[in-house]
Amino acid sequence: MRPLLLVLPILLVACQDGAPSTAEDGSSPAPVPPSLTEGVWLKGDLHLHSHHSSDATSPLPVLIRAAEAVGMDYFIATDHDNHVEGDVAGHTWADPDYRSDSMLMLYGAEWTTHRGHGNTISASPYDHQSFYDIRDALDTEIGAVAERLGFHLSACHPAGGDAWSFSYDFADGLEVWNSAIWSTNSGAMVVWDDLLKSGRRLTGRGGSDAHHGPTGGDPSAWTYNTLQGFANYIGTPTTWVYARERSAAAVVEALDAGRVAVSANPNAERVELRADTDGDGEMDRMMGDDAVADGQPVTFRVDLVGGTQGLLPLYQVRVVKDGAEFGSFPVVGRSLEFTDTPVAGQRSYYRVEVSGLPSAYFMAPLSSLLSTGTIGLSNPIYFGFHPRG
Ligand SMILES: [Zn+2]
Ligand SMILES: [Zn+2]
């Protein structure tokens, strides 16, 4: 849920700048976005199962050591809450191994219900039991409890088995990239675009949903006990957030704000999408941000950061505008700029999908072979959208 604390500073900044509270046509102005330059990119996997899920074999300490080994900045185990009758606080979170010296620890679970699955993501422990207990209630009641508990709630595998069939009006986002196999996500992308076209600013994120991987004691004794662990393990895909600081609270705020990109693995390129909406030559919006369409051309910029393509990287950048392909552009190098004029007074959004050579990833060495070439995607930049609920 979008924390009030995040909204208040934005309103204060708007007042200090003398910005009007409503535009002349009566509509609300786009909120002033947080800084585009003073944040930090943080990466992790938002959908992981440890041995506290009865259908998973990944020992929690091995999962955490593996995440540390590949340089993750934040960690969350989203174990099935129904496997412990809702008591994730007494199992996953209470496990003395649920700690890291190098990663920010988040708290959540896979809310596993008859009407689909959703991941809760919180900066601190909360009363998950009360959310589990109302899983069969009416959506209005569930929405009120979710709002009170204050976590980021993200629908899982929304077009696959156990797809989300609750209202999206109490969700903050959805898992548009589930597992290492990109081609299985086309249905999720349709769901996402339909929600975006309806004016809902839902954050798209990734999640490996890995249940299996190395087992054993120290890293020197790790063995893979299933083929699946070679292909889909922590980081396939990886979700990047642009956080105002390196803290668990800032990770959740960035998820709420949609300042999020997804890459095929932790070594793959991070996609950054920004826009110059006022024509002054400076980028003033990034993915997740909203702007007012005033009938003037907007310059968009895509940057591809990191990856293992070497000195002459080649990419194909597909730009999606309002659910349809705006263009597909070959890119030699690491940047692309394009221009368009969002229609004044209308709602529109732009997001990008990037394909290219896969980056090698030793922790799940077969994962790169399973992708059909998509290596990253952005969240949208919005024009004239509703405030987030
Ligand atoms: Zn699930
Ligand atoms: Zn799962």
Residue 167 has a pLDDT of 97
Residue 19 has a pLDDT of 34
**Which ligand has its closest atom nearest to the C-alpha of 78?**
2
Cα–Cα distance, 73 to 234 (Å, whole number)? 13
Residue 74 Cα to ligand 1 middle (Å)? 21
pLDDT digits (tens, 9 = 90+) for 352-378: 999 998 898 999 989 888 766 899 999
Place of tokens 């009170």: 148
- pLDDT average, residue stretch 210-226: 84
- The neighbour count for residue 163, using CB atoms within 10 Å, is 17
Residue 383 Cα to ligand 1 middle (Å)? 32
Residue 81 has a pLDDT of 98
Residue 177 Cα to ligand 1 middle (Å)? 13
CA-based torsion, 300, 306, 312, 316: positive or negative:
negative
- pLDDT average, residue stretch 214-223: 83
Lowest mean pLDDT among 6-20, 220-234, 349-363, 369-383: 6-20
- The neighbour count for residue 13, using CB atoms within 10 Å, is 14
Tokens at 106, concatenated:
């988040």
Residue 216 Cα to ligand 2 middle (Å)? 22
Residue 324 Cα to ligand 2 middle (Å)? 30
- pLDDT average, residue stretch 192-206: 97
Cα–Cα distance, 254 to 288 (Å, whole number)? 9
**Which ligand has its closest atom nearest to the C-alpha of 209?**
2
Residue 112 Cα to ligand 1 middle (Å)? 7
Residue 2 has a pLDDT of 42
**Closest of 236, 380, 377 to residue 317, by C-alpha:** 377
Question: What average pLDDT is seen over the chain?
Answer: 90
203 exposure class (CB count in 10 Å sphere: 0-12, 13-18, 19+): buried
- pLDDT average, residue stretch 62-74: 97
Asked if 364 contacts 231 with a C-beta cutoff of 8 angstroms, the reply is yes
pLDDT digits (tens, 9 = 90+) for 273-325: 999 999 999 999 999 999 999 999 999 999 999 987 777 789 999 999 999 99
Cα–Cα distance, 61 to 96 (Å, whole number)? 9
**Which ligand has its closest atom nearest to the C-alpha of 164?**
1
Residue 93 Cα to ligand 2 middle (Å)? 17
pLDDT digits (tens, 9 = 90+) for 20-45: 333 444 456 666 677 898 999 999 99
Ion ligand 2 — residues with CB under 5 Å? 110, 209
Residue 34 Cα to ligand 1 middle (Å)? 33
Domains of the chain by residue range: 4-383
Residue 48 Cα to ligand 1 middle (Å)? 10
Residue 101 Cα to ligand 1 middle (Å)? 29
Q: Residue 219 — very low, low, confident or very high, per pLDDT cuts 50/70/90? A: confident
Q: Residue 147 — very low, low, confident or very high, per pLDDT cuts 50/70/90? A: very high
Q: Which residues contact 289 (CB under 8 A, 6 or more apart)?
A: 30, 33, 257, 258, 259, 381, 382
Which CATH fold would you assign to the domain 4-383? TIM Barrel (3.20.20)
Q: Residue 3 — very low, low, confident or very high, per pLDDT cuts 50/70/90? A: very low
**Which ligand has its closest atom nearest to the C-alpha of 210?**
2
